[in-house]
């Protein structure tokens, strides 16, 4: 199945956190990296006052796991990189991983909501996703990613590219 996964980090060596997270994800899932967006620096949204800027990116991954199995792997990778199990809502973090989409599936249960809720309102998700899949139309949406991005009324300058897709090349 093809997954879109958002990566974010606003603590420590943010770019290295993204790289380590990707390496762990690929190792633990056995998945294949299909695409990676640029890395964008973004202002924190709904975070505690004084929170540092985030680095955000999106990858597309081919993996055999079910969405719930992959979600468990993502939680394990976050934990390995220092994210505590108990934390305040929107607290700063070394690594935040979210499944944005899973093929054309729609899931809404106690553990998981796919497509990711509110992503269509967040430039820090849509901008990198537009890098890799601008024509994608998610379940429940009438417009593609590019159109959703263009329709946002926030400041497009709040998101700036700091690294190209080569960040995801693992050595």
* Other Cβ atoms within 10 Å of 167 Cβ, number: 20
Tens digit of pLDDT per residue, the chain (171 long)?
999 999 999 999 999 999 999 999 999 999 999 999 999 998 887 777 878 899 999 999 999 999 999 999 999 999 999 877 776 666 788 999 999 999 999 999 999 999 999 899 999 999 999 999 999 999 989 999 999 999 999 877 778 998 888 888 764
- Determine the pLDDT at residue 170: 60
Contacts of 104 (CB under 8 A, 6+ apart): 139
pTM attached to this predicted model: 0.93
According to the 3-state scheme, what is the secondary structure of 82-142?
Answer: CCCCCCCCCCCCCCEEEEEEECCCCEECCCCEECCCCHHHCHHHHHHHHHHCCCCCCCCCC
Nearest to 162 by CA among 60, 78, 59, 54: 54
CATH numbers and ranges of domains, the chain? 2-168 (3.30.70.560)
């Amino acid at each position: 199945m093809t997954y879109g996964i958002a990566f974010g980090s606003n603590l420590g060596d943010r770019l290295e956190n993204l790289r380590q997270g990707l390496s762990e994800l690929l190792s633990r899932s056995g998945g294949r990296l299909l695409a990676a967006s640029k890395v964008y620096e973004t202002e924190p949204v709904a975070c505690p006052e004084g929170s540092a800027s985030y680095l955000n990116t999106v990858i597309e991954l081919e993996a055999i796991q079910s969405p719930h199995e992959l979600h468990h792997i993502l939680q394990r990778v976050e934990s390995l990189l220092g994210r505590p199990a108990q934390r305040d809502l929107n607290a700063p973090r070394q690594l935040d991983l979210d499944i944005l989409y899973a093929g054309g599936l729609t899931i809404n249960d106690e553990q998981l909501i796919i497509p990711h809720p509110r992503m269509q309102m967040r430039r820090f998700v849509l901008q990198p996703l537009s890098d890799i899949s601008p024509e994608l139309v998610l379940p429940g949406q009438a417009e593609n990613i590019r159109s959703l991005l263009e329709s946002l009324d926030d400041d497009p300058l709040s998101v700036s590219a700091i690294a190209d897709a080569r960040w995801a090349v693992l050595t």
